[in-house]
Structure 1
Amino acid sequence: MKTPKQIFEELFQCHTEELVDNYIANNSDIFQQGNWSPLGGNENNYGVIENQQASPIAALIEKITNSIDATLMRKCYEADIDPKSDDAPKSMEEARESFFPDYKNWDLTGPRKAQAKNIQILADGPKLNSSLTIYDNGEGQHPEDLENTFLSLLRGNKNEIHFVQGKYNMGGSGAIIFCGKKGYQLIGSRRFDKTGDFGFTLIREHPLSKEEESKKKNTWYEYLKIDRKIPSFKIDKLDLNLHEALFETGSIVKLYSYTLPEGSRSVISRDLNQSLNEFLFNPALPILTVDRKYRYPKDINLERDLYGLQRRLEQSENKYIEDYFSETFREEPFGSFKVTSYVFKSRIDGKNIKETKTAIQSEFFKNNMSVLFSLNGQVHGSYTSEFITRSLKLNLLKHHLLIHVDCTHMDYNFRKELFMASRDRLKDGEETARLRKFLANKLGAGNGQLAQIEKKRKDSISVDTKDTTEMLKSFSKNLPMDSEMMKLLSQTFKLEQKKENPIKKDTGKKRETEEKEPFLPKRFPSFFKFKTAKKDGINAVNLPRGQDKSISFQTDVENHYFDRVEEPGDLKIALVSYNKKNESDGGDASPGIENIEEILNINHSSPREGTIRLNLTAKNSVQVGDEIELKITLSGAGEDFEEIFLVKVADPEAPKVNKEKKDDEDQFGLPPFVLVYKDKKEDHLTWEEVEEGINSDISYETVMIPQVSNENLEKVVINMDSKVLKDFKTQYKSVDQLAVAERKYISSVYFHTLFLYMITKNRKYSIAKQNNGTNINEPVELETYLQDLFSSHYSAFILNFGTNDLLQGISE
């Protein structure tokens, strides 16, 4: 009979599911059915385990989260603090600060990697059939306690402990279904204080017998016991091939033949590391990922620490990031939460648009998550880039924008309705829909920073309207204004006739060009002041009831002060007094109000070139005539600065009448076309010059690219060096004939694009394409479909067949 130590060591040396199968078959006396017990003490555990994380990466994150929790728990016990007592930290952030006073040194490679060795993820086995081992030097468990911790389900062991992530006591079991075909998972643990033995067990999916198959709908998951107890043995140290460590205490879990998604199957210290970073946006502790030399003998970097996506995005040497900024919202029913937007460059050194896009997706979007919702640094749900195109309507930023929503400080009653218990996706409920709509309105605002960035990229394509105007004028004159076609055009593009020789009024005002002094940011602010001049010696603003009010403060701190990982600052807003109309209490009168969020919605932005903006909206309970005194504190590692100002609630303001002359009075409503060439030609743009504005590469195969924003067709970029045009022109020889051929090409491409776009939008068609290798239809943007359509045989067809009638109205 083998000893428990032999069984564990031999099982641990199995690196695939097949080897575990063989070991069980060769030791049937140990693994007889009588030695297996159902996980959680219930044979109906199949549903709990199977209906957890939808992806193997998200399931693996739960294992890592458990290791982080265990490490913090160990530190709490070592500090002689009951984790459930009032003396225990109230948050994960507070626990890190209390138990790891030198944690700020983890921004340095050496200290970070030294700490990361306490939580390791290691790979073994064949490259395409890898087993993963997760080790932590955390609290550990006695053998007799494993059934109430690692092997239990839904016991809520951590529900009263505020500084750990786990609470349902089931997340660790979610990875079982991704362990090969049979769910093999080896667990070993020893208590941190070395007071007990090392206990272990093997988990598997129960193999149904022929008799059971006829009676049971589902199988269940079970764990090994020997002589009716968890097998155990005494240890001093175990050599488990960890990185620069021997196992003494803590826990170790081996996941056999773990199903990793494509893109994370090679060197785990690189590819899996990147995927884990996406789900661990800002973890409390660093982790080490380790691959083996025998698996990748030519790789020189097999050990890499990971410390969250936020640090990867915000590190100063990040060549991918163009800018990032944040807004903090305090509104009902959400409570307080922060949204940070990261904008990626459209082109990085040495790469074209397409190569840059591919690199960005590989480095930061392995799991197709463009909007991340996190709690205590762990991503609990996400949106794809569909949110950016359909809700924000920022098509150019589809592959160049990542949004992080920190839900840690949200109101508990709202937050608990957002996430599934599996912590890997959002619920499809009223709260989720409300938050999505709120984010779409705030982040997609036309005067917001994201819209400005998209506009700047679009405006990189300058338009010479001369050619466009002449063609559109000819086109419009040859179509009856009351025709069905013109009606259809007007519905989509608001077509109007261009006025001949418009007269520009001389306003008599001369524009003065003021040279703006360069902004010289500081790491910490040296001042902070209300931007508006004082009235009667006090800072005061009028807040129209039911309307927004934007207030600005001046400072000299750098733009990323609120968002940076190292020594970030904060803007704190406190209620000094609230005086209701017709009340004579005065002084600190705050009638039944405990915090500012009860009477005001308050949002603030991260600093921007020396300006911090505060946006206020009064709640319905606030009346005209009420006065609210606020204290704003700009805090951080440096000196704190305070400003106090008075908010006077006033009558709503009448809407402003925009007296500016409308642009479309002097323009056609139809979008212009832009002619581009591979190389510079006269006043026309080159491929490279317009690629940023269309977020796409242009090649000889490209015919046209529609520029769409907010579901409006704004420009049609036509490639004058396309293979289609070159082939078409081979039929002609004279200069005049070639000119006609080019005109025919431009008009055919432009008007077919126009009408296809118009009809598709007006008929409210949606377009989908079957994903390669699956039967899933994925939505495709109309502009993407049209670009692909014209790059195929369609453009050659419209040039050579059936275009005479269309062109007759615009011929010379």
Structure 2
Amino acid sequence: MAANARDFLGRLLGARSTLEVETIMAALPIVPPDQYQWLPGDERLGTWQRGKLHWVPVGRDRGNGGRIKLAGEPMNPLAERLVNGMESLIELARLQERIKNPTASMPASPREAVFRYFGFPKLDAIERLDDDERKEKSALADKVRKHLSIRLDLEKKRKEFTVTIRDHGMGQTPANIHNSLLSLGRTDKADKPYLIGVFGQGGSSAFSIAKYSIVVSRRAPDIRKSGEGDGAGWTIVREIQPKGLRGAYYAYLAATEAGEVPFVDAAQADAAQFEQGAHFCHIGYDFGVSDSSIARTMYQSLNHVLFNPVMPYELYALRNTPEPMKGTAQRLARRVRMLGRNVALDKSFAQQPVL
């Protein structure tokens, strides 16, 4: 199912509040959960209505509530989303390599992959290089970070946060989004040592912290296979609480009974300037606080959680200028370089006699 309005994707990508999402959904042919619903096992409440959108459980697992609510702290799923973005950029480079050289051996680790495809070593190690090489490698890292970003927005009237993670990596075709970005526990990473995660689930916990989540993805053109659509798949994720039942679950808008998401064609994706990669927008994200101090907390927390990430990214925390994010390890290494190699960062203690 393709969305007909020419500006639909632009409005969806620009949505930053629950009101905007609900306005968009009000104009869509969505079957209410009480008219069509997944039940435990293979049973369904109601019948599929052709030409309309239906709420289908994330991972097509009616009991996904407990698995998705695994996040212990709101920052962790966001860090997982950023790691997914890094993997998407690495996988894109790997697929491009295989197109040029089908017999090319795979990198043995994520860091080896980053060095092979993007040309820079560990981010903290860059700070220990001599001046010329440090500037060269830093420039390469800064070029890469522009392809992965996380943005924090605040709707002041409702005191409502929105977090958007955007990567310009490999992306997914509309027909495969339900099997990849919306899957739970399914993975094709186990035999790819150059990727970071394995189980493909951590970032999904963000669905439980947001009131709505918007997911959009488009396959990179140079790795798209013959016959694969050039449009952008999209969906909206929310919690469903069935009447009379205790088990809430998380569901996304699906266009087919097999679970495929709706999409816009290539012309509409181009008009919205959505070229490739993935867009995860978590609206009404509950950090546990409702003031702008979360911007400072986000900078500190993400640098801590992603202590020494394989590649950098950009943080837009309530402003339109990015903060380069390279992890606390790089910040410490830079501090050592600026202060001198003989300076200790930890507090020193005078020697004490042993009694």
Instruction: Give, in whole Å, the separation in 1 of the partners of 2:328 and 2:233.
Output: 35
Instruction: Give, in whole Å, the separation in 2 of the partners of 1:318 and 1:271.
Output: 25
1:260 aligns with 287
2:315 aligns with 289
Scaled by the length of structure 1, the TM-score of the pair is 0.35
Scaled by the length of structure 2, the TM-score of the pair is 0.76
- CA distances 1:684-707 after superposition (whole Å, capped 9, x unpaired): xxxxxxxxxxxxxxxxxxxxxxxx
1:190 aligns with 218
Instruction: Give, in whole Å, the separation in 1 of the partners of 2:94 and 2:104.
Output: 12
Are 2:162 and 1:159 equivalent residues in the alignment? no
Instruction: Give, in whole Å, the separation in 2 of the partners of 1:106 and 1:21.
Output: 48
Instruction: Give, in whole Å, the separation in 1 of the partners of 2:200 and 2:66.
Output: 15
Equivalent position SS for 2:183: coil
2:68 aligns with 49
Indicate conservation of the 8 Å contact 1:39/1:221, yes or no.
Answer: yes
Cα separation, partners in 2 of 1:207 and 1:232, compared to 1, 3 Å: same
For the pair shown, which has the larger CA radius of gyration, 1 or 2?
1
- CA distances 1:651-688 after superposition (whole Å, capped 9, x unpaired): xxxxxxxxxxx96xxxxxxxxxxxxxxxxxxxxxxxxx
Equivalent position SS for 2:155: coil
Cα drift, residue 29 of structure 1 = 2.8
Cα drift, residue 85 of structure 1 = 8.5
1:65 aligns with 83
Instruction: Give, in whole Å, the separation in 1 of the partners of 2:247 and 2:276.
Output: 37
Indicate conservation of the 8 Å contact 1:71/1:139, yes or no.
Answer: yes
1:30 aligns with 30
Indicate conservation of the 8 Å contact 1:186/1:202, yes or no.
Answer: yes
Give 1:402-801 correspondences, 5 Å limit: 453-456=348-351
1:174 aligns with 205
- CA distances 1:636-663 after superposition (whole Å, capped 9, x unpaired): xxxxxxxxxxxxxxxxxxxxxxxxxx96
Cα separation, partners in 2 of 1:124 and 1:262, compared to 1, 3 Å: closer
Equivalent position SS for 2:199: coil
1:573 aligns with none
Cα separation, partners in 2 of 1:4 and 1:152, compared to 1, 3 Å: farther
Higher-RCO chain (CA-CA 8 Å, sequence separation at least 6) = 2
1:87 aligns with 105
Cα separation, partners in 2 of 1:113 and 1:232, compared to 1, 3 Å: same
Are 2:238 and 1:204 equivalent residues in the alignment? yes
Instruction: Give, in whole Å, the separation in 2 of the partners of 1:106 and 1:132.
Output: 32
Instruction: Give, in whole Å, the separation in 1 of the partners of 2:290 and 2:79.
Output: 17
Are 2:177 and 1:150 equivalent residues in the alignment? no
Instruction: Give, in whole Å, the separation in 1 of the partners of 2:4 and 2:342.
Output: 60
Instruction: Give, in whole Å, the separation in 1 of the partners of 2:167 and 2:161.
Output: 20
Equivalent position SS for 2:68: helix
Are 2:301 and 1:275 equivalent residues in the alignment? yes
Instruction: Give, in whole Å, the separation in 2 of the partners of 1:85 and 1:132.
Output: 40
1:303 aligns with 322
Instruction: Give, in whole Å, the separation in 2 of the partners of 1:137 and 1:39.
Output: 23
User: What RMSD in Å do the two structures reach over aligned CA positions?
Assistant: 3.3
Cα separation, partners in 2 of 1:137 and 1:28, compared to 1, 3 Å: closer
Cα separation, partners in 2 of 1:225 and 1:8, compared to 1, 3 Å: farther
Write the letter of the residue equivalent to 2:282. Answer: L
2:161 aligns with 130
Are 2:295 and 1:231 equivalent residues in the alignment? no
Instruction: Give, in whole Å, the separation in 2 of the partners of 1:322 and 1:126.
Output: 47
Equivalent position SS for 1:173: helix
Cα drift, residue 230 of structure 1 = 1.5
Cα drift, residue 14 of structure 1 = 2.5
2:10 aligns with 9
Write the letter of the residue equivalent to 1:454. Answer: F
Of 140, 143, 151 in structure 1, the residue corresponding to residue 171 of structure 2 is 140
1:473 aligns with none
Indicate conservation of the 8 Å contact 1:4/1:231, yes or no.
Answer: no
Equivalent position SS for 1:70: helix
Cα drift, residue 235 of structure 1 = 2.9
Cα separation, partners in 2 of 1:106 and 1:49, compared to 1, 3 Å: farther
Cα separation, partners in 2 of 1:153 and 1:292, compared to 1, 3 Å: same
Indicate conservation of the 8 Å contact 2:171/2:220, yes or no.
Answer: yes
Indicate conservation of the 8 Å contact 1:67/1:136, yes or no.
Answer: yes
Write the letter of the residue equivalent to 1:48. Answer: R
Cα drift, residue 167 of structure 1 = 0.6
Instruction: Give, in whole Å, the separation in 1 of the partners of 2:291 and 2:120.
Output: 32
Indicate conservation of the 8 Å contact 1:263/1:271, yes or no.
Answer: no
Write the letter of the residue equivalent to 1:41. Answer: R
Write the letter of the residue equivalent to 1:259. Answer: D
Write the letter of the residue equivalent to 1:12. Answer: L
Indicate conservation of the 8 Å contact 2:59/2:182, yes or no.
Answer: yes
- CA distances 1:88-128 after superposition (whole Å, capped 9, x unpaired): 11111111111112566676665433321100112334254
Q: When you count strand as a share of all residues, which structure comes out higher?
A: 1
- CA distances 1:570-591 after superposition (whole Å, capped 9, x unpaired): xxxxxxxxxxxxxxxxxxxxxx
Q: Runs of 5+ in structure 1 lacking a partner?
A: 241-245, 294-300, 325-341, 346-452, 460-661, 664-812
Indicate conservation of the 8 Å contact 2:161/2:284, yes or no.
Answer: yes
Indicate conservation of the 8 Å contact 2:214/2:282, yes or no.
Answer: yes
Indicate conservation of the 8 Å contact 1:142/1:189, yes or no.
Answer: yes
Equivalent position SS for 1:247: coil
Instruction: Give, in whole Å, the separation in 2 of the partners of 1:94 and 1:173.
Output: 27
Cα drift, residue 7 of structure 1 = 4.1
Write the letter of the residue equivalent to 1:92. Answer: P
Q: Runs of 5+ in structure 2 lacking a partner?
A: 37-53, 127-132, 225-229
Write the letter of the residue equivalent to 1:39. Answer: V
Equivalent position SS for 2:238: strand
Equivalent position SS for 2:221: coil
Cα drift, residue 186 of structure 1 = 0.7
Instruction: Give, in whole Å, the separation in 1 of the partners of 2:79 and 2:304.
Output: 10
Instruction: Give, in whole Å, the separation in 1 of the partners of 2:289 and 2:303.
Output: 16
1:723 aligns with none
Instruction: Give, in whole Å, the separation in 2 of the partners of 1:255 and 1:224.
Output: 15
Write the letter of the residue equivalent to 1:79. Answer: E
Indicate conservation of the 8 Å contact 1:142/1:199, yes or no.
Answer: yes
2:148 aligns with 119
Indicate conservation of the 8 Å contact 1:264/1:272, yes or no.
Answer: no
Cα drift, residue 37 of structure 1 = 0.9
Give 1:309-320 correspondences, 5 Å limit: 309-315=328-334, 316=336
Indicate conservation of the 8 Å contact 1:117/1:287, yes or no.
Answer: yes
Indicate conservation of the 8 Å contact 2:154/2:318, yes or no.
Answer: no
1:546 aligns with none
Indicate conservation of the 8 Å contact 1:267/1:302, yes or no.
Answer: no
